[in-house]
């Protein structure tokens, strides 16, 4: 079925043919000539009484059949006309006698032979019902097929693009991408006043490709452009073009642009264009004929022999590396806009947009929440507030508080807490010291990340985790910062080695992240003794995976040296983590004991523990008590001041 066709309720005119057929069949099969007038059935005796009475018979009709005579007519009962009909057994004497009486009594007499019927009437009464039933059956079958969606076979080559006339999304609903909105503003102006650009000979970009990580708001931004320009908005996914049969996708592309040109100026938005715009001829055994023909038709429609004025194509993808080069050349997708992850101000603006319809408590600071969520996309932030609202409803509260938001962040990052999973005492202590090791190393590194939260509550596949944020959000990272990051990852493993003289599988995720960073430092960033040479091109086979059948960028000797350099970086950072933990053993023990008692610690609580403002008493984390010896110390300080005042006077005299 055509997706642009709206589901409307059937109109009354659609039922008129059925009503006419039903009435005709009823008249044909359930009515007789005698029932067309209001008449009463009388027997032969009453008919004789009527013929012998003074009542005047206005008209009479005698139908002579093989065995029966039908007499019908109208007589006057005063000023009222009354119809009558009767059946009489047929005999020659009966017919003659009846006709004599009627001739003297009735004004009009009609004698009809029932057996001498019209041949055309017989044909109509026998053929017309069959035709009517056939037509009625065909109409009902077509209606049932249309309602069940089977007519899609007839609309197979039509476009699946959904058309929206009045898009209500505006730029005010999109936050965290101010530069991207500035790039799209001229598209809005072109769609509103195309003559202004034509007067100066300017050609607006025919296509705009939005590239970015999932959840950064590419689709929302495209809708906002259509809403601001107030033009028709055709939206479709790249997978809607590709079908099993070759040529169907190309036909859909033609139909889509045909509909768009009829509605120009308008906008076409193709989401996940990499599903149809992948490189041609790639893959094992050749390419995909249906996809390639669809891509060829898309290339022709965007910049072919015919003019495509008034139609702006916007596409979105998070895999621009797999797109065909012909799709990215000027004249097709002239402009690429990278929709990046939001920075601190962007995250705060996004949170304000999504907090419009939510009841937040007074103590909730969106700026502080934005600082705690680096690397979150717009979709992640929306999910955080939504999860917080769901938790608030679950706890039967009226406002979203910091506790629900904090739990929501943990849920988005690591999943829900698995409180049913219990530790034994040794495992709980091991996890506590592991996480405390991360915290201590991070606190003692100048370029290390800030520890915002430490917990040993299991979430997902992790027994615990550290919520760390960078001290400052930067575009570039120095070698020293990367070394400190790897050292932070090694803190948990180092704590296990020092305090338990053993290691566990809990550091597998840390080792994976540290190895990835170290390998990038050697092969991509040139931060090793191998020099500024890139040994990893980052390009793999499009359809077979990035690592399968990838070309070798280094010889076997250089590959060995790469492994050696990666091992040097990891070993150096590991030894640094061991030094930091050995130098701060007491602080790590304090944090670990607090974690065993409280299971979760915030950055403020960690600082209070290290400053001896919090301590563990009988397995409970409490405020530290003020010692009674403090007043004695104050007395000693006063006595020291008195003794030191005399030498000051003597020195003044000596100076004089």
- Catalytic center residues: 435
Q: Maximum CA pair distance of the chain?
A: 175
The residues, any chain, with a CB within 8 Å of residue 267's CB and separated by 6 or more, are: 191, 222, 225, 226, 229, 231, 232, 233, 234, 311, 312, 313, 314
| Token pair listed for 123 | 């044909």
DSSP 8-state secondary structure symbol assigned to residue 424: P
DSSP 8-state secondary structure symbol assigned to residue 42: -
CB 278 within 8 A of CB 322: yes
CB 355 within 8 A of CB 328: no
**113: how many CB neighbours lie within 10 A of its CB?**
10
CA-wise closest residue to 255 among 239, 271, 268? 268
Kindly list the strands in the beta sheet with 80-89, ordered across the sheet, starting from the edge strand earlier in the chain. 39-41, 80-89, 68-77, 57-64, 106-113
CB 442 within 8 A of CB 488: yes
CA-wise closest residue to 514 among 535, 532, 488, 536? 488
| Token pair listed for 314 | 């916007």
> Cα–Cα distance between 328 and 350 in angstroms, integer?
31
| Token pair listed for 570 | 């990891």
> Cα–Cα distance between 496 and 394 in angstroms, integer?
38
The torsion defined by the Cα of 270, 276, 280 and 285, in degrees rounded to 10, comes to: 170
Does residue 289 sit in helix, strand or coil? Answer: helix
CB 261 within 8 A of CB 210: no
Place of tokens 């409280």: 598
> Cα–Cα distance between 609 and 616 in angstroms, integer?
9
- H or E, element range at 419: none
DSSP-derived pairing of the beta strands 57-64 and 68-77:
antiparallel
Q: How many residues does the chain have?
A: 656
Does residue 196 sit in helix, strand or coil? Answer: helix
């Amino acid at each position: 079925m055509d997706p642009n066709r709206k589901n409307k309720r059937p109109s009354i005119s659609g039922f008129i043919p059925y009503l006419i057929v039903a009435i005709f069949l009823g008249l044909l099969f359930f009515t007789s000539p005698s029932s067309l007038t209001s008449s009463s059935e009388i027997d032969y005796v009453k008919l004789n009484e009527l013929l012998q009475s003074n009542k005047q018979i206005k008209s009479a009709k005698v139908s002579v059949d093989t065995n029966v005579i039908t007499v019908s007519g109208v007589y006057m009962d005063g000023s009222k006309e009354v119809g009558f009909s009767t059946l009489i057994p047929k005999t020659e004497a009966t017919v003659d006698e009846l006709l004599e009486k009627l001739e003297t009594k009735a004004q009009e007499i009609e004698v009809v032979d029932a057996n001498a019927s019209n041949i055309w009437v017989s044909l109509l009464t026998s053929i017309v019902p069959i035709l009517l039933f056939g037509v009625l059956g065909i109409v009902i079958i077509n209606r049932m097929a249309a309602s069940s969606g089977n007519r899609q076979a007839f609309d197979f080559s039509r476009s699946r693009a959904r058309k929206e006339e009045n898009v209500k999304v505006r730029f005010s609903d999109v936050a965290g991408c101010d530069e991207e909105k500035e790039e799209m503003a001229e598209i809005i102006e072109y769609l509103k006043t195309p003559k202004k650009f034509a007067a100066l000979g300017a050609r607006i970009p025919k296509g705009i490709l939005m590239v970015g990580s999932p959840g950064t708001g590419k689709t929302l931004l495209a809708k906002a452009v259509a809403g601001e320009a107030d033009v028709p908005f055709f939206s479709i996914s790249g997978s809607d073009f590709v079908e099993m049969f070759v040529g169907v996708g190309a036909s859909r592309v033609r139909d889509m642009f045909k509909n768009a040109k009829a509605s120009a100026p308008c906008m076409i938005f193709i989401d996940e264009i990499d599903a149809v715009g992948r490189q041609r001829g790639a893959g094992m055994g050749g390419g995909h004929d249906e996809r390639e023909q669809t891509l060829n038709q898309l290339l022709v429609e965007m910049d072919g022999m015919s003019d495509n004025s008034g139609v702006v194509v916007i596409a979105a993808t998070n895999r621009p590396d797999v797109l065909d080069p012909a799709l990215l050349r000027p004249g097709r997708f002239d402009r690429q806009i990278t929709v990046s992850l939001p920075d601190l101000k962007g995250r705060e603006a996004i949170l304000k947009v999504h907090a419009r319809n939510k009841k937040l408590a007074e103590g909730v600071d969106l700026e502080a929440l934005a600082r705690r969520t680096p690397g979150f996309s717009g979709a992640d932030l929306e999910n955080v507030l939504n999860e917080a609202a769901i938790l608030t409803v679950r706890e039967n509260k009226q406002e979203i508080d910091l506790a629900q938001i904090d739990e929501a962040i943990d849920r988005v990052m690591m999943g829900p807490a698995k409180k049913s999973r219990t530790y034994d005492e040794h495992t709980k202590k091991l996890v506590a010291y592991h996480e405390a090791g991360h915290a201590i190393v991070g606190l003692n590194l100048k370029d290390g990340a800030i520890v915002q939260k430490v917990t040993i509550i299991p979430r997902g596949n992790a027994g615990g985790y550290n919520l760390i944020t960078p001290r400052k959000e930067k575009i570039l990272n120095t070698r020293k910062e990367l070394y400190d990051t790897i050292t932070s990852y090694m803190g948990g493993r180092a704590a296990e080695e020092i305090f338990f003289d053993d290691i566990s599988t809990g550091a597998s995720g840390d080792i994976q992240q540290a190895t990835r960073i170290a390998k990038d430092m050697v092969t991509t960033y040139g931060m090793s003794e191998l020099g500024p040479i890139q040994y990893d091109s980052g390009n793999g086979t499009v359809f077979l995976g990035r690592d399968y059948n990838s070309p070798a960028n280094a010889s076997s000797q250089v590959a060995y040296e790469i492994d050696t350099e990666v091992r040097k970086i990891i070993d150096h950072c590991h030894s640094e983590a061991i030094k930091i933990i050995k130098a701060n053993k007491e602080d790590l023990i304090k944090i670990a004991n607090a974690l065993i008692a409280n299971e979760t610690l915030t950055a403020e609580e960690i600082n209070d523990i290290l400053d001896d403002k919090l301590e563990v008493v009988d397995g409970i984390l409490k405020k530290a008590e003020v010692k009674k010896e403090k007043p004695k110390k104050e007395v000693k300080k006063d006595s020291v001041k008195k003794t030191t005042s005399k030498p000051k006077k003597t020195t003044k005299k000596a100076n004089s």
